[in-house]
Amino acid sequence: MPTYSGTYNFSLTAQQLVTAALVKTGAFDEYQTIPAQDLANVLQSLEIMCKEMALNGMPLWAIQDIAFPTVAGQAVYNLSTITGSTLPLRVLDQYIVDSQGNSVTMQMTSRYDWDTLGQKGQQSIPNQVWYDPQLGAGNLTLYNVPIDNTHTIHVVLQLQMQDVGALTNNIAFPQEAYRMLLWNLTDEISLDYRMPADERLEVNQKATAFRDKFFDAEFGQEQASIFLTPSERRM
């Protein structure tokens, strides 16, 4: 009978990933003690790289569904405060639920369309939203202004990638991303550590292939159909 571990807990710390990338550059071997400054420099490269990867798509582990009650007379809601000191990058879906549990989809409005809306102070049941992601906060504005406190707004958000923070921390990516992260970090620091040009090219090809495979695959996306309909607002 085959023997299996029965566990699914494999993880990498930032230091393990940083060390592996430095070894791949050839600057150190696996038996050397890597200077603290090199570890700190490459950790910073890892932080920058992970933040930028939010641009590659909508990974399921960075998507959060939040809900908050309407406040009579209040149109603007700070999603950064509601989600806990983070800046939601995008609002992917939005709907409103009444006190009986009935839900209705709300329309996402562009900045241009929001600017051209009239009677922005009118109070009624909200049916449109506008999201304004700024560095200081991400503000969701409702139209119409809520007339009561009996409704709940639900929004599905793409959050920022979590900070790595410290070398001892784990990385907020699933196990399936580890190889992609390792090769992309090696590619990121390959010039700093003077890898030969032909080796840098090979590393870059591997990094690109693993990144495309990870983000283009259906692994990080929901398995659901997409239906597109034309907007009638400007027709």
- Strands of 23-167 (E only): list them: 63-69, 76-78, 90-97, 103-105, 107-108, 123-124, 128-133, 138-143, 145-146, 152-158
Helix or strand or coil: residue 24?
A: helix
Quickly state the pLDDT bin for 232 (edges 50, 70, 90): low
- Segment 31-48, tens digit of pLDDT: 899 999 999 999 999 999
Residues 106 and 96: beta-carbon distance below 8 Å: yes
- For residue 13, pLDDT beyond 90: yes
- Segment 169-224, tens digit of pLDDT: 999 888 999 999 999 999 999 999 999 999 999 999 999 999 999 888 645 455 45
Q: What is the pTM of this model?
A: 0.75
Cα(235)–Cα(233) distance, integer angstroms: 6
